[in-house]
Amino acid sequence: MLLVAACSVLFISAFALVVLRAIQPEARYTWLVAVGGSMLAFVTVLSWGFQLPFELTLPAWQPQILFPTPIQFHADEIAWAFSISITGLLAAILLTAAVGSVVGTSLSWAGVLLLGGFGVLAVTANSPLTLLMIWALLDMTELAALLRSVNGERNNERVVVSFGTRSVGSALLLWAYIESYTAEAPLLFQAMQSPASVYLLIAAGLRLGVLPLHLPYEPESSLRRDFGTAIRLIGAVSSLSVLGHVQISVTWVNPFLMILALIAAVYGGWMWLRAPDELNARPYWMIGIASLSILSALDGNPAGAAVWACALLLSGGAIFLSSVREVRISRALLVCAWCLSSLPFSLTAAAWTGTSWFIIPFAVAAQVTILAGFIRHALRSSENKSLDDQPSWAKVAYPVGIILLIAIQVFLGILFQISLPQIGNWIPGLVASILTVGLFWATRRFRVFNPARAHWVGTASQGINNLYQGLWSVYRAFARIAQTANRALEGEGGIMWTLLFLALFVSVITGEIK
C-alpha cells in the first residue's frame, strides 16, 4: 500500500491541477498544490525505509498460459533509492519554479507530477511485462507533450523519430520477456540469469539514445528548465533502473557493447566539457553518465549501474534547475562534484568496485571530463537573473529546491556505503579527482576547452548530425513510399485495386483448396 499511496498522491495532485486550470486559470495557489503534492509523495517514499523490502502484486491476467507472471512491483534498497531520487527531483522542480511565473503553468506542473508517478512505478517494476507497460505510458506522455510544444513538420518528424527509437528499445524488452519465457527461465528481474538479460541492457541503451549515439530532440525554451528536465531525467532513470536489478550474462557480444559504451562515455564527457552552457549540453550529460552506468552493468556491477543512474538524475537535476547562480548556490553545487568523484562515502563510491583493470583507464578519462565540465558549468555566471528581484517566499523556496537534491545525494552516498560490505575501489576515484583539478585548471587557460558558441553550433557535433540526417533520409523515403501507396488506393482507383487484391486472394485460396 505504500507504493499505491505515493503514486496516488502524485496522480491526484496532477488531476487537481488540471481541474483548477479549467475552473480558475489565473489562480496563484496552484503552485502550493503542486509543491504540497510533491513533498507529500517524497515524505511517503522516505517512509518506505522502515518496511523494506515489500511487494505489490496485482491479480493475474487471463489466460494464464500467456501471462504466467502477474503485474508485480518490488521495492528494495535500489528501488527505494531511485524512488527517493525521482520524488526529490519533482519537489526540486516545483520549488525552483518559484522564480518564474506561477500563473498559467499548472498544466506543465501536472505533467511533471504525472511523469514522476510513472517513474516511481517504472523503477519498482519487478518483471519485463510490468516495465513494458510503464515504459509505454511514459513514451505516450512524452510524445503528446512534445507534439503539443513544437511547431513545424521537421520538428514533428524529429519527435516521431525519437519516439520510434524508444519503441525499438521497448520491443527489445518484449523480446527479452519472450526469450525468458521460451527458455523456461525466471521472469522476475532479480532472478533473471539467462542471455535475455543482454537484451534488457541494449533496450535501456536504445531508449537513452546512447547505443547508437542519438541526440533526442530538445523541447522549446519554455519547457527546458522544468518539464524538459523531468522528461529527460525521469525517462533516463526509468530505463537505467533495470540494470540495478539484473546480473548481465556474459556472452560473445559483451566486449563489443563495452567498446561502444566506452566510446559513448568519452565522447559524451568531452562534448559536455566543451559545451557553452548546461542546457545545450544536456544530451551529452545523459550520454556520458548513462554510458558509465551501462559499462558497470556489463562488467557485473549492478550497484555501480544504480549509483551512476542516481547521479545522472540528482546531480543533473541540480545543475539544470539552477537558473539563478549566486555565490552560495554555485559553491553548494560543488558538493555534486564530490558525489560524482567515486571517493569513499560519496554517491558513486561503488562505481568501480570489481571493475576490470583494462576498462578503468578509459572510464576514468570519461569521468574526469564529466567532473571538470560539471565544475565549469556550476561556476558559470547566471543568465541575467537574480534573487534580489524575487519575493521573499521565492528567495527561500528556490535554494531549498537545489539544496534538497544535494542533500539526497549525500544521504544516499552514506546509505550505499553502509549497505556495501567493502569501502569500494577508491583508487580510481582519487586519480579521477586529481586529474579533474588539472583539467579544470586547463579549461581556463587553453581555448581548445572553451569553444565559441558559433564554432560549437557549427562543427562540434558534425559527425552525429550527419548520422542523424542519414536516419532522417531513410525515414522520409519510407514516408514517400507510404504516401504513394495512399494516393494509389484513394478515390475511384482504390476500388479497382481492392477488387484486384480480392480476386488474387480468392484465386490463391481456391488453388490451395484444390
Q: Percent of the chain having pLDDT more than 90?
A: 18
pLDDT at 513: 45
Average pLDDT over residues 134-138: 88
Crossing angle (nearest 10°) for helices 302-321 and 77-96: 10
pLDDT at 405: 94
pLDDT tens-digit readout, 115-133: 999 999 999 988 888 888 8
pLDDT tens-digit readout, 152-173: 666 666 677 777 778 888 888 8
pLDDT tens-digit readout, 484-503: 655 655 555 556 556 666 67
pLDDT at 89: 94
pLDDT bin (cut points 50, 70, 90) of residue 113 is very high
Give the rounded distance of the alpha carbon of 230 from its chain centre: 9
pLDDT at 64: 67
Query: What does the longest C-alpha to C-alpha distance in the chain come to?
Result: 88
pLDDT bin (cut points 50, 70, 90) of residue 175 is confident
Strand, coil or helix: what is 289?
A: helix
Structure-model confidence comparison of residues 483 and 443, the more confident one: 443
Residue environment code for 313-328, b if the CB has 16+ CB neighbours within 10 A, otherwise e: bbbbbbbbbbbbbbee
For the chain, the structural domain boundaries read 2-460, 465-514
pLDDT at 443: 78
Average model confidence (pLDDT) across the chain: 79
Select from 313, 315, 299, 408 the least CA-distant residue to 352.
299
Please say if the pLDDT value at position 43 is more than 90. Answer: yes
pTM, to two decimals: 0.85
pLDDT at 71: 83
pLDDT at 446: 72
Please say if the pLDDT value at position 181 is more than 80. Answer: no
Average pLDDT over residues 39-68: 82
pLDDT at 153: 64
pLDDT bin (cut points 50, 70, 90) of residue 514 is very low
Span of 210-214, 263-267, 400-404 with lowest mean pLDDT: 210-214
pLDDT bin (cut points 50, 70, 90) of residue 469 is low
pLDDT at 457: 41
Structure-model confidence comparison of residues 421 and 223, the more confident one: 223
Please say if the pLDDT value at position 207 is more than 90. Answer: no
pLDDT at 403: 93
pLDDT tens-digit readout, 69-91: 778 888 888 899 999 999 999 99
pLDDT at 189: 76
Span of 59-68, 115-124, 280-289, 470-479 with lowest mean pLDDT: 470-479
- Give me Rg for the CA atoms of the chain: 24
* Type of residue found at 124: T
pLDDT at 460: 45
Cα–Cα dist 351/424, whole Å: 8
Average pLDDT over residues 132-141: 86
pLDDT tens-digit readout, 298-336: 888 888 889 999 999 999 999 998 877 778 888 889 999
pLDDT at 138: 87
Crossing angle (nearest 10°) for helices 30-46 and 77-96: 160
Assess whether the previous peptide bond of 451 is cis (omega < 30° from 0).
no
pLDDT at 121: 92
pLDDT at 39: 94
Select from 6, 95, 3 the least CA-distant residue to 403.
95
SS3 per-residue string spanning 107-175: HHHHHHHHHHHHHHHHHHECCHHHHHHHHHHHHHHHHHHHHHHCCCHHHHHHHHHHHHHHHHHHHHHHH
pLDDT tens-digit readout, 347-394: 888 888 766 777 888 889 999 999 999 998 888 776 556 777 777 777
pLDDT tens-digit readout, 422-462: 556 778 888 988 998 988 888 777 766 665 453 444 444 55
